[in-house]
Structure 1
């Protein structure tokens, strides 16, 4: 099981995978007899406890998301954005199930909110990904169930219709779900791959207008900022591009921890724009750039692409200690607009991999 960000490996055989395949393609099972599990979600970049591989037959995984409309501080200058969120975080929590499981989501729109909301799961089949069945007013809740028929990492987001769709998405209403193969991750040759830790990075573009003095505007509620924010949005030039809701959200004392010799799975989503993740000083040992685990992973990538409206997954085994910057390699967005995170890696230095042969000094005459 995974605790916080640390995963203990679990074994599996082919029986559960075959059972899941039969459920995907065969007659509907008796849901009343299926095992249910209530899953407590955690705030990104962390991920709730889960098995990497499972021998269990498919079951029903119960999740709960509460929609919160609230201001968020999005940079180190204290700039606030009138955000809309799932469970109060940007991105919303990462959900993890296995292929063949049923996802049963309770979506809650408290009466303290002002707007309609819903949820579109890119992992789901039919009904606008669930968006057509989950539109709820303030003071309402609904329950959606869908079968996880495809393995991979997928975006979910709010999609209430028309111009509300991009506005809600770029106001923070997006997250991801990971559907693991029942036998766990595999390399291109079918060998098992496991991770010691998992982190979820949700990249977010914000579009805040400035006043006549060049200062970012603030709004008491999302609705108050709608017209001016929409005007900035239609120019397609974000004011901020950040990881996990704010510039600096995953740096300094909030850096993601790891140790030399540990393998880390990085799930990265972008619900609206393309991104180019790059781990400075490291690589993508195995990368599912398109986010789908039935496809063989690419190997040894320096930079990979996360297409707008999708998620990717990358495995890397850390080999040296130190601070690793994880960036969107549009370096303007990384350095100036905020799309930078840090990994803090503990362990012993390996001179064979890198060594300073001579310290900086004067050029010899």
Structure 2
């Protein structure tokens, strides 16, 4: 496993980490603690020392599972969680210092911890980034010893740039993958300039970039890939990175031609992200232990060639950029 520094936190974290949106089972399935424990232990066994969760993942069960396993291990493993998405309707006016403080305390209770390594605002509305009192709230929580660092998870590049006006923002979590190239244009250089860590989320575009899907692929009714393709429940960009499913499949076939051989496209999609030195870590999810191992095998892949990097850009420009580039 290779490790990179997560911005101002100073944490030396695994460049492939673990996202836990679906760690207790596939999207829409009931949470399975035994399966979650196996997945998390498999990751730590292989050198993962950074795990990302959120209070809304399975109503706090994901947080509890992550902390339970980490506390049973001897290795130092950093836990990052998120808050804010419990606010309904999810509008800026719902974000108050009192409410956010309550959410942090509930996460501490869920995890039976005294301190959270990294708490992240969970894709708040853009207007929240114009409210200094929200970010000052986390300074008080830090002084109280309840958190060590503050980060933000964003939908828009613009939001990431706005977040960096606050000196206590140590990391930015953003969708970045072969179907979402915009963050590399401006956000990455600004993050480096401000010593802000970058966490690449949705690295496989909700599974599109595994190369295993086709037009006959179906998902359960409770899976966001069924009910959120047009943003019916939350930001459309969270599902297939906002790319039309059929268009994405066409682009995937072009990408496969760039990477002939035995390795699946998913592995190359993750390796592509690691070609950007500004990225601190990538957080693919897993619903089975073998998926964790498959993700971690990326460390053994060679760097992409200049021709392959150019080819990914050309596929993006041809299929994806006209549809999504201006949206996020």
Q: TM-score, with normalisation over the residues of structure 1? A: 0.26
The structure in which a higher percent of residues are helix is 2
Pick the structure with greater CA Rg: 1
More strand by share: 1
Greater relative contact order (Cα < 8 A, sep 6+): 2
